[in-house]
Amino acid sequence: MKPVARRSVWRDGASRPDNLAEETPVAFEYNGISQAVMLATPADLEDLAVGFSLSEGIVSRRQDIFDIAVVEAEAGITLKIEIATEDFVRLKAQRRNMAGRTGCGLCGTESLGQVVRALPPLPPTQPFPLAALYAGMRRLPAQQILQQATGATHAACRVDRDGAISHVREDVGRHNALDKTLGALARGGVAVAGSALIITSRASFEMVQKAAALGAGTLAAVSAPTAAAVRLAEKLNLTLIGFLRQETCATYSGGAIIMEEVKA
């Protein structure tokens, strides 16, 4: 299935062709057992499988994912993921079965205790240059291919200390976009620690949790964070930035940011 559908729409008094972002049910199946179903853009699904598995704590290491098969059917797509026996036994004990809407992070969670995972605080790191975040934000739109075509997708990416961006991934769901980027980084053996993540959405509680779970010390969002996201970022020693624009932002948690002037 392609991530973009071509349809005719009535616009400005005439029928015109238009691009629409696809979203389709994607089922996550671990060792033959269904675990989660969500709506997602049918692109970079192997990245999504790895990122979701790691950021949700289903596996603790990339090496514990042995195989991923993407199986298309009329009703949607199934990601058949083979994981280590130890991880699968723990997964069955959690008895978590999520059936959510687009990119819904907590839909279907069975208990309050499953919402907040016991993550250790991130270790102190060298301050991340604010100028690098501004540079990354300027560069990101040019690589949002699906957004340019449809106007309907979120994006996430890694930015290094020089402002270069990589592993740009898009999805109709903001959680999915972040998981795809995290999965792409893990599959490529690229460490998240020492770099920052940019997301073109608000920063919710679970977005902070996902970023911290893979060791990201800085998460920068185009929109605002939630209060719960800020509290969690403070607890986990994660620098949380909101309202990131080309030359302005707001720091909500963490002092590990160098407030640099951006030179034209």
Give the residue numbers marked as catalytic: 104
CA distance 170 to 179: 10
**Chain centre distance of CA 190:** 16
Longest dimension (CA), the chain: 60
3-class secondary structure for the chain? Answer: CCCEEEEEEEECCEEEEEEEECCEEEEEEECCEEEEEEEECCCCHHHHHHHHHHHCCCCCCHHHEEEEEEEEECCEEEEEEEECHHHHHHHHHHCCCEECCCCCCCCCCCCHHHCCCCCCCCCCCCCEEHHHHHHHHHHCHHHCHHHHHHCCCEEEEEECCCCCEEEEEEECCHHHHHHHHHHHHHHCCCCCCCCEEEECCCECHHHHHHHHHCCCCEEEECCCECHHHHHHHHHHCCEEEECCCCCCCEEEECCCEECCCCCC
**Cβ contact 79:58 at 8 Å:** no
CA distance 157 to 167: 5
